Structure 1
Amino acid sequence: MMRKLMIGAAVGAAILAAPASAREKQITPYIEAAQIVTADLTNDDVLTYTTIAAGIDATVQSRRVQVQASYRYEHRFAYDNRLADTDIHSGLVRAAVRVANPLTIEAGGLATRTRSDIRGAAPGILQGNVANISQLYAVYAGPTFGSHIGDLGISGGYRFGYTKVQAPSIVSPVNGQRLDVFDDSRSQQAQASLNLKSGSVLPVGITLSGAWSRDDASQLDQVYEGKYGRLDVLYPVSPTLALTAGVGYENIQISHRDALFDAAGQPVVNNRGRFQIDPNGQRRIDYDFDGLYYDAGVVWRPNQRTQLEVHAGERYGSFSAVGSLTYQASKTVAVRVSGYDGIQTFGRQLQNNLNEIPTSFNPGSNTLGQGFNGCVFGAQGGAAGNCLNSALQSVSTSAFRSRGVDAVIAVTRGRTNFGVGAGYANRDYLASNGGPGFTINGFEDESYYVQAYINHQLDRRTSIDANVFANYYKSGIGTQIGVYNVGAIGSINRRFGRFNAFGSIGIYNFGQDRAPSITSLQALVGGRYSF
């Protein structure tokens, strides 16, 4: 937790170290129209849509300002009374603005559609009246700073975030225990640290840090609050290798209010499927930890482009290991591997993942609805990127211990850029064993995912790209049956001045273990006018 909170203070200085030659400003609003055909090959059913969209792509890159934004609003008109018209928001923004040395303001935002219940399948986003899909929005902003007073380094930061998830229009068709539906949450994080480099005053480096975090979710009035303090010692054993050890204190408490149940023992829900608070109920403690933790590890930095850091020890009452590898082979190749372990809520985890996306990213073609709900790859000269899958595997109202690993590589070679992302995510749910109703305390969810893309510029006006992805989800709640989703999308784009003509085709397969799968084919043709 402490290490994640301190990332933001260092990011502000690093991402703003762009040379003057890297200055760029481009703001392009656009309108778009397209025709979509989707064919369910399993059930021999064909559906047709017309889409009207408006959006904006913007990039500002300078020594003081780094901003990239890509946002799109789309309305889909269906030609069949069985289908409902649909509004879709898809977008990502990351920004860092150095307002004064050493103060930087960082911000981010996300709009996408994601799986609501990990136990249910989520088909290709365009297919019919899609069940188990929710529209999601998240934003955050806050200052970071880093400076020195003599040999003493000082850094800190504050971040406020808001996450909103609309209830799915069609609840996941899952038999078994009904789960609650997330509404919104407000997250706050603050941290500060003091650092002495090794060899400046003492032969070892010393870092003293503290942090505070709080997440208030409206659903059942859930509250997460954590206070943290930590002391780290770094001992260099060679110019490129150092040993490190740390001890910390943390106080984390998570609680919620009782849900209301009817005479039959079923939860009372509103018209959006959300549980209602029992006015006569109690506040229940889902998780309560107050004590010390410790770890030790190594830091290896053979050159300025490569850094490996691994820590292992005891935390949350059991073994815990975290680590990271960053490798900037050149201005065109970047690699990032991250292993994590922490007590989380859905809102906090999503805000942390969003914060780790670089301020220069590849927005992708955004065709056929696959926008910003998986891995986001860094653009040329930037960081590798980050995957949002660990948070977006499903929307949870309960807190959980989150463990896993993500790996991302982004490469640019002349007219071609490509990226690969993969990972594993585990959630061990934390909930009170007291009170009425079903408890998911101790149940686990697992996710495996891989995603790859390639884009190639054929000439000044023509480009092609392809995306492939595969996901496997397994929940310990209820049936314990795995759910999978695989797909591939290919697109071509041809520019005629301000007008772009494009076409895409995609194939998707989704289903559950020990059950027939469903395969669909989707095609799109359209045009975009940029202002």
Structure 2
Amino acid sequence: MTSRKLFAASARALALAASALLAVPLAAQDFGGQDDFDNTRGRGNARAVQPYIEVNQVLSAELSPGNDVLTFTQIASGVDVNLQGRNSGIAASVRFERNIGYGDAIDSSSVSGLLRGTLAVVPNKLNLEAGAIGVRTRVDAGGGTTINPLVREDQTSQLYSVYAGPTYTDRLGVVDVAAVTRVGYTKLDLNSAVVDPTGGRLEAFDDSVSNVGQVRAGVRPGDLLPIGIAATAGGFQEDISNLDQRVRDLYARADVTVPVTTSLALVGGVGYEKVEISSRDALRDADGNPIIGAGGQFLTDPASPRILAFDVDGLLWDVGVLWRPSSRTSLNARVGQRYGDTTYYGNFTYAPSQRSTFAIDVYDGVTGLGGILNNGLARLSNDFDVVRNPVTGDLGGLVTGGDGAFGIGNLGSVRAAAFRGRGVRGSYQRQLGQLTAAVAAGYDRRTFIAAPGTVLGAANGITDENYYINAGLSRDLGRNANLTANGYINWFQTGFGTGDVTATGGSIAYNRNLTSRLVGRAALGIDYFDSEFSPEDIAFATALLGLRYNF
């Protein structure tokens, strides 16, 4: 083979990595919308369906500022699923929990779960994808959240998000074609109204419907021309119930991939964007005060005109590099103009072996809370194991799997206003014999966008920042026992002047098989909260002793 043919063959191999990236540079900005239209990944033909019930006794001791001690009986049932085929797969963890208090303790119940699945309707061409998440969360006065609330807390809220849609990929001659569409719904069920330190009412997110669509056609380098070319068109829209907000992002663009070496290519694109964020103002009484309905949300008149808060209409572009020196290492980095401003985004993955995976992702996009959650679900592999808090049973903010670790703890602010969100997130997973370790961390910056003069106008231009780390460690102790440890840190800083929050905690758990189906459980957890809304720091220790029966 001549050197020219060898270079062309290597360029085509590099183009396999670029083919999806040419299609998705904008969707990737929407908080990690699909980096590949084919998310059907799995560990062969693994099959596991494990329903269970648990009965636990829980003791919760207040360490600061008081010294109250409460006890609960915890009854839970759930199912863990991981079914993987050649082209289809599903992973899920769903749990219902009831805490029965004694003395001054308050009864509580919650549902938590995570699901992600792919069904191959036409193998290697047409897939149907779906995902869902349900978490119990604690909402602070500044709008910040943590998905590690205490068992003893009754002032918690439930957050749900679900999405579904088809993806299509094919190769028509030398042309790669792909399309994706999905619809999602997100709902925050607040336990009660949230009031900030000044006595003001927090306008928290209620619910939203989001839609994503994208089509693409491209030719790889060396198939028709020395360079790769592609054309993409798509859009994102989220309709937020609060004040009838609407985020609409439409775009069309052309991209090129220029191979430089067998492992390095220059990439770039140019196109057109039309981005709008609009809402309706609240109805007002005779004194000019906004009217609040029975559900606690501001009332609007559907017939009133929409008020623009953000309007960008014009050129978009970006340039960057695609580096893939081996099948285990990949880098896609871009800089350009989006939303009328400079943008940076990209991702890097490194998997030196099947036992070790590292990934980092930089994102930029406009959306609401529902778009964040739906796009996060779409990025998740359909082959994972959920890391749960062993004391509360809640999702602990971390999942692990064949694609490495993935953080699900970045809820950030639950304010109702739409925003431009930028940030970085990373994860690392390593398996050493019987020991598995995983960590996910990130930084999220949200600048809220609202029309001046409306009830949301005070939020316009205000920025909230969230730093978070979730980590987990698991080790098998022989054939019949294992030890796990989990930890989290969350720093939430709000630009609204209503108080920053630091939440941190950790837990350790021991599980031992008493019979082939009966498992003994013991766990200890410590949680600490430092909120400027509270004059004193809050700390709790929680212990659990119980039994789990696997059907």
User: TM-score normalized by structure 2?
Assistant: 0.89
Q: 1:509 aligns with which of 528, 537, 551?
A: 528
User: Equivalent residue for 1:212?
Assistant: 235
Give the aligned residue type for 1:126: L
Q: 1:52 aligns with which of 54, 75, 81?
A: 75
The reply on whether 1:30 has 2:52 as its aligned counterpart is: yes
The 3 A distance-change label for structure 1 pair 48 and 117 is same
SS of the residue aligned with 2:394? coil
Query: Matches of 1:99 and 1:28 in 2, distance apart?
Result: 26
User: Equivalent residue for 1:162?
Assistant: 185
User: Equivalent residue for 1:491?
Assistant: 509
User: Equivalent residue for 1:94?
Assistant: 116
Query: Matches of 1:257 and 1:139 in 2, distance apart?
Result: 26
Q: 2:278 aligns with which of 245, 255, 259?
A: 255
Which consecutive residues of structure 1, in runs of 5 or more, have no partner in the other structure? none
Aligned-pair CA distance for 1:4: 5.2
Say if 1:28 and 1:57, in contact at 8 Å, map to a contact too.
yes
SS of the residue aligned with 1:194? strand
Say if 1:121 and 1:485, in contact at 8 Å, map to a contact too.
no
Give the aligned residue type for 1:466: A
Aligned-pair CA distance for 1:176: 5.0
User: Equivalent residue for 1:343?
Assistant: 366
The 3 A distance-change label for structure 1 pair 274 and 517 is same
The reply on whether 1:422 has 2:441 as its aligned counterpart is: yes
Aligned-pair CA distance for 1:8: 3.7
Aligned length: 520
Give the aligned residue type for 1:105: L
Q: 2:41 aligns with which of 9, 12, 15?
A: 15
Query: Matches of 2:271 and 2:392 in 1, distance apart?
Result: 44
Give the aligned residue type for 1:316: Y
Aligned-pair CA distance for 1:13: 5.5
SS of the residue aligned with 1:276? coil
The 3 A distance-change label for structure 1 pair 521 and 272 is farther
The reply on whether 1:184 has 2:207 as its aligned counterpart is: yes
Aligned-pair CA distance for 1:354: 1.4
The 3 A distance-change label for structure 1 pair 284 and 388 is farther
User: Equivalent residue for 2:27?
Assistant: 2
The reply on whether 1:371 has 2:397 as its aligned counterpart is: no
Say if 2:409 and 2:470, in contact at 8 Å, map to a contact too.
no
Query: Matches of 1:262 and 1:179 in 2, distance apart?
Result: 20
The 3 A distance-change label for structure 1 pair 36 and 13 is closer
Query: Matches of 1:385 and 1:301 in 2, distance apart?
Result: 21
- Show CA shifts across 1:349-388 (max 9, x none): 11001111111212124422363362323x2xx2124323
Query: Matches of 2:253 and 2:136 in 1, distance apart?
Result: 37
User: Equivalent residue for 2:102?
Assistant: 79
User: Equivalent residue for 1:464?
Assistant: 483
Say if 2:193 and 2:201, in contact at 8 Å, map to a contact too.
no
Query: Matches of 1:349 and 1:231 in 2, distance apart?
Result: 26
The 3 A distance-change label for structure 1 pair 109 and 9 is same
Aligned-pair CA distance for 1:219: 2.4
The 3 A distance-change label for structure 1 pair 41 and 261 is farther
User: Equivalent residue for 1:386?
Assistant: 406
Query: Matches of 1:299 and 1:361 in 2, distance apart?
Result: 28
Query: Matches of 2:396 and 2:426 in 1, distance apart?
Result: 16
User: TM-score normalized by structure 1?
Assistant: 0.92
Give the aligned residue type for 1:388: I
Query: Matches of 1:297 and 1:458 in 2, distance apart?
Result: 48
The reply on whether 1:440 has 2:421 as its aligned counterpart is: no
Aligned-pair CA distance for 1:237: 0.8
SS of the residue aligned with 1:362? strand
Aligned-pair CA distance for 1:436: 5.0
SS of the residue aligned with 2:345? strand
Query: Matches of 2:394 and 2:455 in 1, distance apart?
Result: 39
The 3 A distance-change label for structure 1 pair 372 and 300 is same
Query: Matches of 1:450 and 1:117 in 2, distance apart?
Result: 19
Say if 1:108 and 1:140, in contact at 8 Å, map to a contact too.
yes
User: Equivalent residue for 1:524?
Assistant: 544
Say if 1:164 and 1:183, in contact at 8 Å, map to a contact too.
yes
Say if 1:56 and 1:72, in contact at 8 Å, map to a contact too.
yes
The 3 A distance-change label for structure 1 pair 118 and 60 is farther
Query: Matches of 2:353 and 2:427 in 1, distance apart?
Result: 15
Aligned-pair CA distance for 1:327: 1.4
Query: Matches of 1:92 and 1:181 in 2, distance apart?
Result: 23
Q: 2:325 aligns with which of 299, 302, 305?
A: 302
Say if 1:284 and 1:434, in contact at 8 Å, map to a contact too.
no
| Range that drifts further, 72-81 or 54-63 | 72-81
Query: Matches of 1:94 and 1:501 in 2, distance apart?
Result: 29
Say if 2:405 and 2:439, in contact at 8 Å, map to a contact too.
no
Which consecutive residues of structure 2, in runs of 5 or more, have no partner in the other structure? 1-25
The 3 A distance-change label for structure 1 pair 79 and 260 is farther
Query: Matches of 2:197 and 2:385 in 1, distance apart?
Result: 36
Aligned-pair CA distance for 1:173: 5.3
SS of the residue aligned with 2:458? coil
Say if 1:167 and 1:182, in contact at 8 Å, map to a contact too.
no
Query: Matches of 2:348 and 2:141 in 1, distance apart?
Result: 29
User: Equivalent residue for 1:225?
Assistant: 248
